[in-house]
Amino acid sequence: MPKTPFFIYLLVMAGVTYLVRMVPLVLVKRKIKNRFVLSFLYYIPYAVLSVMTVPAIFSATDNSISAAVGFIAALVGAFFERSLLFVAASACSAVLLTEWILMLF
């Protein structure tokens, strides 16, 4: 790949990233007191993380049944406030066991 397009893309990406972080600091001078805006800003990271994670879960395996079983195992572990390591290990184990069971049939 020629180096010139790469550096152009890199500069555009750096500019967009800088603008996304700088514009709110320039436009918002006072502390935000609106409850709706505060709650909206509070939940954005969770929404973005969910939007990025859930499709990846269902495309990680060839079988959607094992992906759903792993997803349910992760939800149950998270619901009972287990550690992240436990949730990840239980989801992986559930997928592995489901794949083994599906290979038998």
**pLDDT of the residue at 29:** 83
Rounded to an integer, the average pLDDT of 17-24 is 91
CB 79 within 8 A of CB 47: no
Q: What percent of the chain has pLDDT over 70?
A: 99
* Token pair in block for residue 84: 């992240």
- CA-to-CA distance for 5 and 3, rounded, in angstroms? 6
Q: What percent of the chain has pLDDT over 90?
A: 77
**pLDDT of the residue at 48:** 93
Which residue pairs, CB below 8 angstroms and at least 24 apart, start in 94-98? 94/66, 94/69, 94/70, 95/61, 95/66, 95/67, 95/69, 95/70, 98/63, 98/65, 98/66, 98/69, 98/70
**pLDDT of the residue at 1:** 58
